[in-house]
Structure 1
């Protein structure tokens, strides 16, 4: 005798697509985002002597190093811009991108203990990293503004209207770091050694980005290839708008925007797919 087929009265399943960032749900957890941002800020300087002063010391020491190595010894071009300001601009932008990327890339592995105990939108964690690093960027950007105002008063730089695009450039950098970071955070749940490879890769990537040199100094083929680096358009637009020098065109920024949005979409798909099963592999 056949038993009657059992019917489920309720089914629990994911009701969002792989491309869904679940921003409405993240907004409902905005207090948690604030707590994570506060935690990241405090933990960064807990048990340190100088505390937030490191926000200033890091770009200053890095700029001095670049000034000596690449300015005095290698004698790289800065497109007629005062070398101190040129390197400080590159360092300020690069520090924000690299810290965001390295932070978001460890989302699953670094927070596995929390994810295994309570539910909240997993996107809250990488978003909090991007926001907390934005505070660091704001302090370092203030240092850049001080140097910029000094050379502007001396008439050595000539900013232009593209300076209004600065918020858009910062958002693009954040989205780029978020997209690539989500991809690596998903991959490191199975392949943990990728986290070490990423740290090395980020260092190499800096030399492929116009941080310490302008794209105008690159030979023809390399310059065309550099246009497809998503950060090239961002860095060149920033330097062109604030310093009035550089090999910038709106096409470069369009290319950067398109590639970044594509990587963000890929990162979203991978992140949403892995978050459902990552506790089995971490």
Structure 2
């Protein structure tokens, strides 16, 4: 796979001394990601972001309203099943706000994982016709879902402000709110890393697509989305914290409500996992993109 487009110098051709202004060379380094090249294709990146965002509600009756309906319906379902029937604790946080915080984070994570995992398979026809940095496709998915996350975050903030301004509110936001952009960045890059790993492997092993869909559902229950971390047994809590998404969701909820668990150690572990998984994903992605057209 190459990193540059070919451009011919017509003046040199007229003079009888043909030269190429840009030479295509294969990627050789394991972590060979040309950020300058991605920046040159920023128009394509934004076009793909717009395509993914618009395609979500195109030819629907309610349109963008679905961005609000989905988290609300999911929150209400969790409220009934886990709040009313199972009667799980929410650490004193109003149940709707508790579940909506988890749903807002998990929706972004799951969407990024699911859509980036199909990068090679769903875009094989484009990859076989024209050159552009292949990593633009999964990056566009992460950014377009970030727009969706921002809309759902506004919904969460509206509910949060409502409970915050009520008399006798048990919500105590703290300065950890300043970490929210950092949390979102880790979520995005961690999901991107895992997504491109599965995307690279599914070009040869298609069964992984089904495994990922099933795995994301199980991973949600291994993440404190519908229950607080304090509810887990001390003996098995390390299993939950071994999931790098756990500290991110728990910190997000703690920042806005003041309830839950916060640890710099756990947050640092999530950041370290993000770096390792993202680097691994880039290595595998660079290796597979050279020959994936032969197996896809």
> When the two structures are superposed, what TM-score results if normalisation uses the length of structure 2?
0.90
Unaligned 5+ runs, structure 1: 1-9
1:41 matched to 2:53: yes
Q: Which moved more, 1:191-200 or 1:99-108?
A: 191-200
62 and 15 in structure 1: CA distance in 2 versus 1, 3 angstrom threshold:
closer
Give the drift of 1:224. Answer: 1.8
Q: Deviations over 1:113-144 (max 9, x none)?
A: 00000000001000000000011101100000
SS in 2 for 1:191: coil
1:177 matched to 2:186: no
1:6 alignment counterpart? none
Distance 1:191 1:45 in 2: 31
1:203 matched to 2:244: no
Aligned length: 274
Distance 2:262 2:193 in 1: 24
Distance 1:15 1:275 in 2: 10
Give the drift of 1:22. Answer: 2.0
8 Å CA contact 2:102–2:226 kept in 1: the answer is yes
Distance 1:256 1:21 in 2: 23
Correspondent of 1:79 among 73, 85, 91: 91
Unaligned 5+ runs, structure 2: 1-19
Q: Deviations over 1:4-56 (max 9, x none)?
A: xxxxxx99642451212322211110000011011111111111110110000
1:215 matched to 2:229: yes
1:142 matched to 2:158: no
Give the drift of 1:152. Answer: 0.7
Q: Which moved more, 1:49-58 or 1:216-225?
A: 216-225
> When the two structures are superposed, what TM-score results if normalisation uses the length of structure 1?
0.95
Distance 2:269 2:90 in 1: 24
Correspondent of 1:153 among 138, 162, 165: 165
Q: Following TM superposition, where does structure 1 have runs of at least 4 consecutive aligned residues deviating by more than 6 angstroms?
A: none
